[in-house]
Amino acid sequence: MANLRDIRKRISSVQSTEQITRTMEMVSTAKIRRALDRAMQAEPYKAALTDVMLTVAQDAEVAGNNPMLKRRDEVQRGLVIVISSDRGLAGGFNVGAARAAEKIMGGWERAGAKAEVIACGRKATEYFRHHTNLVMHFEGNSAEPNLEDARMISSYVCRAYAAGELDRVELVYHHARNRVDQDLRVEHLLPLDPEAVAMAHGPRKNDTEGPSRVSSSFKFVPSAEHVLGELVPSYILTVIHQALIDSAAAEQGARRKAMHSATENATAIVATLTRTYNRVRQASITTEINEIVGGASALEEQ
């Protein structure tokens, strides 16, 4: 049985860990509100740009000539954009994104295609650095994503797809549903399918038939196809930037949840150790009393 000193040291160690996890939970709780507000503020722009793009795509008569809309018969080279965090202690946040990306790439590789990865976040970079072809990586901005990173990713993706160097692009990230829950999302980015985008975009309020669209009674100069070609790269940039912002909010929510669970576990361990300490202490006192009584009885007999 452990002695009292060992149990006291163990209790002190767990209490120190509990203080750390509780502090991290409080920090994440403070940060998640600002991150969620930022994601909500960016959402209307993405929604408006999507509506305009869908309207132009509907009016474009030969949208198939746009390289960003052109479908390839076979996937010979695919790209997965994985968004993770720079720091750990967020439960299964990073592992979930990495496994989802691996599943996609595994399907391509079994079909004989090559897979590439763009990693956003230190954890994804460390995971894929030695596992696959890492073409780009970004570190240090997972909690405060910036537009420049999204622009670099978007430029590479649009250029490579238009040049025929990529046949498919997927985006893997976590969506912050609220302060508590996060959803892992896998979004098909390219080739762009306006009908699929319309379904994913979802209906607006008071609109049960689909996403709201700007009236198409416009004349496009020089043509709807040309305008669509200019809109698609902006749409790709916006989707990637929104995913980075959304993932930043989800990261704080996941870390808050993980630290809350760790704090509760530490509290339970301290309670269990305290009971053990009291039992050992009581047993020690009882043993000492028995020894004293036994000694007194021996002296009386003499």
Q: How many other CB atoms are found less than 10 A from the CB of residue 90? A: 24
d(CA 242, CA 40): 10
Beta bridge partners of 188: 170
> 100: number of CA atoms within 13 Å, CB side?
22
24: closest CA among 260, 242, 285, 231?
A: 260
Q: What is the full per-residue pLDDT of the chain (302 aa) written as tens digits?
A: 568 888 889 999 999 999 999 999 898 888 888 888 888 888 888 888 888 877 777 766 554 566 777 777 788 899 999 999 998 888 889 999 999 999 999 999 888 889 999 999 999 999 998 878 899 999 988 888 989 999 999 999 999 998 888 989 999 999 988 888 889 999 888 887 766 665 555 554 444 444 454 445 667 777 777 777 778 889 899 999 999 999 999 999 999 989 999 999 999 999 999 998 888 888 878 877 777 777 777 777 66
d(CA 202, CA 188): 15
d(CA 228, CA 96): 35
pLDDT at 270: 92
